[in-house]
Amino acid sequence: MQDSNFRSEIEQHLAVLRTLQTPTGLFTAAPSDVATGYNKAWLRDVFFITLAFEVTGDMETVRKAAKALLGIICKHQDKIDWAVKHKPLESWQFIHARYNPETFEEYWEEWGNKQNDAVGEVLYLLSVCEHSGHNVIETADEKRMVQLLVDYLNNIEYWQSADSGIWEENQELHASSIGACVAGLRRASTMPYVTMPAGVIEKGEAALRTLLPRESASKQTDLALLSLIYPFAVTTDAERDLILERIITNNLRERGVIRYAGDAYYARKTEEKTLEAEWSFGLSWLAIIYAELGQATEASVYLEKAKATVTADGLIPELYYGGTDTPNENVPLGWAESMYVVACRKVQMLLEKNQ
Residue extents of the structural domains in the chain? 1-21+251-355, 40-250
Q: How confident is the model at residue 233 (pLDDT cuts 50, 70, 90)?
A: very high
Q: Are 118 and 149 in contact (CB under 8 A)?
A: no
Write the secondary structure of 200-223 as one string of H (helix), E (strand) and C (coil): HHHHHHHHHHHHCCCCCCCCCCCH
Q: Are 309 and 23 in contact (CB under 8 A)?
A: no
pLDDT given for residue 259 in this prediction: 98
Q: How much is the average pLDDT of 142-147? A: 96
Query: Which long-range CB contacts under 8 A does 30-38 form with residues at least 24 apart?
Result: 30/318, 30/330, 30/331, 30/332, 30/333, 30/334, 31/332, 34/329, 34/330, 35/329, 36/329, 36/330, 38/330, 38/333
C-alpha angle 114-19-107 in degrees, rounded to nearest 5: 25
Q: Is the previous residue joined to 31 through a cis bond, with omega within 30 degrees of 0?
A: no
As to burial, measured by CB atoms within 10 angstroms (0-12 exposed, 13-18 middle, 19+ buried), residue 351 is middle
88-133 pLDDT tens trace: 988 889 999 999 999 999 987 777 789 999 999 999 999 999 999 9
Q: How confident is the model at residue 35 (pLDDT cuts 50, 70, 90)?
A: confident
243-262 pLDDT tens trace: 999 999 999 999 999 999 99
State the pTM of this model: 0.97
User: Would you tell me how many other CB atoms lie within 10 Å of the CB of residue 239?
Assistant: 19
Quick one: CATH architecture of 40-250? Alpha/alpha barrel (1.50)
User: For residue 105, which of 51, 24, 35, 180 has the smallest C-alpha distance?
Assistant: 24
pLDDT given for residue 279 in this prediction: 98
